[in-house]
């Protein structure tokens, strides 16, 4: 069994997360992280670096802590030269300064004008009808007579093979970044498989429960992508409860990852990592028995790496990535068992994803992954390109950032137009533009739901 009782998962999720008031902007955080990282790579203590640049240790310490007050441009230039950053630190400081200016301008506009602008208050994108249907499917509670369909009438139940086909179609749509289509298919699938689970024979229960659990996982995956993280946790937790009733260990592990990712998406990073560690212990004795369990096991560590990176724990991030890489080496190929897309390439993508979370801009921009293999889902490719675009935007590479977002949008419009990273990139480009934004950027802003200043 899991190290964390199922009943405790709700308590973990229910812990309220508080936003830090007046925290530094993204570029300011990345600047401090990059200074600290480069100093560590150089093997210098704070006092040693202070001597090199002609400042006191206190100045170095403050520069390595994200604050509303930025380190002076002279200090950042000295640090950039001493640490061999090649202008990266100076560019990050300029980006942070632009963020500060934009925040001040936004406050002024709000004070003098009823017109609100830009990304800090992006207008809500219209919710597709299919997503509303999925929301309804998860919040519908009915108490029917056992063995009967809704309203007490026996329904025409789908065959198990048809449910498996529909499950594949739902996950395929998700991995192709066609989230509205995936939501529609999952809504129908959940209704069908619930009915079958009420009618199936005892010999079919394991298979039916496995399909039902994975249907909930598909629902959770879609809901996270469309910004319904809380409801995604509800779906994932229901799926895990059903999975534990099935005899499929790989399905159980897959739903552990789904719950953990839902926790991660709501900012509950430490509970997510605890759950991932428990799930890994659950699967470890069985990973030699087939590629599916091994793939699920490896994906647990990739989810753990993302949680650790968002938590700011670079050492733990490295540990999780090492475990995932070992599992990928053991698998020996890029695969998609149980819709994991696990293999060496996905591990490489997560190295970039986690570097972006940790503020390691150099690693992100140095990445040159080739993602042409049909095994790599569109969803994974798009996330990779959005991280690249975000890094470009933070160091002032405006054309590269805009071009990368547009490239990703051509690949998966549904995905990019709903993704928070795309909105962040566009907002940064608008805020840091020294002149009127170009037509291409203005049109992209409209498509991702950012209102331009009036």
Which pLDDT does position 17 carry in this prediction? 31
> At residue 248, does pLDDT exceed 70?
yes
Q: How far apart are the C-alpha atoms of 208 and 200, rounded to whole Å?
A: 8
More confident residue, 144 or 428: 428
Which pLDDT does position 273 carry in this prediction? 95
Enter the tokens of residue 373.
């293999």
More confident residue, 256 or 198: 256
Q: How far apart are the C-alpha atoms of 304 and 276, rounded to whole Å?
A: 6
Cβ count within 10 A of residue 288: 9
Mean pLDDT across the stretch 181-203?
89
Q: How far apart are the C-alpha atoms of 259 and 139, rounded to whole Å?
A: 18
More confident residue, 327 or 59: 327
Query: Reduced to 3 states, what is the DSSP secondary structure of residue 158?
Result: coil
* Spacing of C-alpha 200 from chain mean position: 36
Percentage of the residues of the chain whose pLDDT score is greater than 70 = 82
Q: What is the overall mean pLDDT for the chain?
A: 84
CB of 63 closer than 8 Å to CB of 32: yes
Which pLDDT does position 140 carry in this prediction? 72
> At residue 157, does pLDDT exceed 70?
no
Query: If one looks up domain 26-114 in CATH, what number appears?
Result: 1.10.260.40
Nearest to 231 by CA among 197, 198, 190, 192: 190
Please list, in sequence order, all residues whose beta carbon lies within 8 angstroms of the beta carbon of residue 434, skipping any fewer than 6 positions away.
none
pTM: 0.72
Q: How confident is the model at residue 210 (pLDDT cuts 50, 70, 90)?
A: very high
| DSSP H or E run through 267 | none
370-418 confidence digits (pLDDT tens): 998 888 999 999 999 999 999 999 998 999 999 999 999 999 998 999 8
Which pLDDT does position 88 carry in this prediction? 85
**Rounded-to-10 torsion of CA 384, 249, 165, 298:** 20
Phi/psi of residue 157, each to 5°?
-90, 145
Mean pLDDT across the stretch 175-194?
93
Q: How far apart are the C-alpha atoms of 405 and 401, rounded to whole Å?
A: 6
Q: How confident is the model at residue 69 (pLDDT cuts 50, 70, 90)?
A: confident
More confident residue, 322 or 436: 322
Enter the tokens of residue 299.
């994906």
Q: How far apart are the C-alpha atoms of 304 and 283, rounded to whole Å?
A: 15
> At residue 231, does pLDDT exceed 50?
yes
Which pLDDT does position 438 carry in this prediction? 83
Q: How far apart are the C-alpha atoms of 38 and 82, rounded to whole Å?
A: 10
> At residue 71, does pLDDT exceed 90?
no
For the chain, which residues make up each domain, given as ranges? 26-114, 377-454
More confident residue, 438 or 394: 394
Exposure class string for 199-221: b at 16+ Cβ within 10 A, else e? ebeeeeeebbbbbbbbbbbbbbb
Which pLDDT does position 98 carry in this prediction? 76
Which pLDDT does position 107 carry in this prediction? 47
Mean pLDDT across the stretch 422-433?
88
CB of 2 closer than 8 Å to CB of 282: yes
């Amino acid at each position: 069994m899991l190290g964390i009782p199922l009943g405790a998962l709700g308590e973990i999720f229910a812990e309220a997360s508080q936003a830090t008031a007046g925290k530094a902007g993204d570029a300011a955080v990345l600047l401090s992280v990059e200074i600290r990282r480069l100093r560590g790579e150089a093997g210098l203590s704070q006092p040693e670096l202070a001597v090199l640049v002609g400042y006191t240790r206190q100045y170095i310490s403050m520069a390595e802590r994200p604050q509303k007050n930025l380190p002076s441009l002279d200090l950042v230039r000295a640090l950039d030269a001493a640490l061999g950053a090649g202008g990266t630190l100076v560019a990050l400081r300029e980006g942070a300064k632009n963020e500060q200016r934009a925040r001040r301008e936004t406050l002024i506009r709000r004070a003098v004008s009823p017109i609100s602008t830009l990304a800090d208050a992006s207008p809500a994108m219209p919710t597709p009808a299919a997503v509303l249907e999925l929301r309804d499917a998860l919040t519908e509670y009915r108490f029917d007579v056992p063995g009967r369909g809704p309203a007490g009438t026996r329904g025409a139940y789908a065959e198990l093979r048809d449910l498996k086909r529909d499950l594949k179609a739902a996950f395929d749509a998700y991995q192709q970044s066609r989230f509205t289509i995936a939501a529609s298919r999952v809504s129908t699938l959940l209704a069908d498989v619930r009915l079958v689970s009420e009618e199936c024979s005892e010999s079919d229960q394991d298979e039916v429960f496995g399909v039902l659990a994975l249907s909930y996982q598909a629902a959770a995956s879609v809901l996270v992508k469309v910004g319904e993280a809380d409801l995604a946790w509800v779906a994932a937790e229901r799926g895990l409860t059903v999975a534990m009733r099935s005899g499929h260990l790989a399905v159980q592990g897959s739903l552990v990852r789904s719950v953990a990712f839902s926790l991660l998406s709501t900012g509950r990073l430490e509970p997510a990592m605890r759950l991932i560690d428990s799930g890994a212990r659950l699967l470890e004795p069985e990973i030699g028995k087939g590629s599916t369990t091994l793939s699920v096991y490896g994906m647990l560590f990739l989810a753990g790496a993302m949680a650790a990176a968002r938590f700011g724990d670079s050492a733990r991030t490295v540990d999780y990535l090492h475990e995932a890489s070992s599992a990928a080496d053991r698998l020996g190929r890029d695969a998609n068992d149980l819709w994991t897309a696990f293999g060496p390439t996905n591990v490489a993508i997560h190295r970039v994803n986690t570097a972006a979370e940790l503020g390691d801009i150099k690693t992100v921009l140095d990445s040159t992954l080739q993602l042409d293999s049909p095994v790599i889902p569109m969803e994974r490719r798009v996330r990779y390109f959005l991280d690249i675009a975000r890094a470009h935007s933070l160091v002032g590479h405006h054309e590269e950032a805009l071009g990368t977002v547009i490239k990703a949008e051509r690949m998966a419009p549904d995905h990019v137009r709903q993704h928070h990273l795309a909105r962040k990139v566009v907002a940064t480009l608008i805020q840091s533009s020294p002149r009127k934004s170009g037509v291409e950027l203005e049109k992209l802003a409209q498509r991702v739901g950012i209102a331009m200043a009036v």
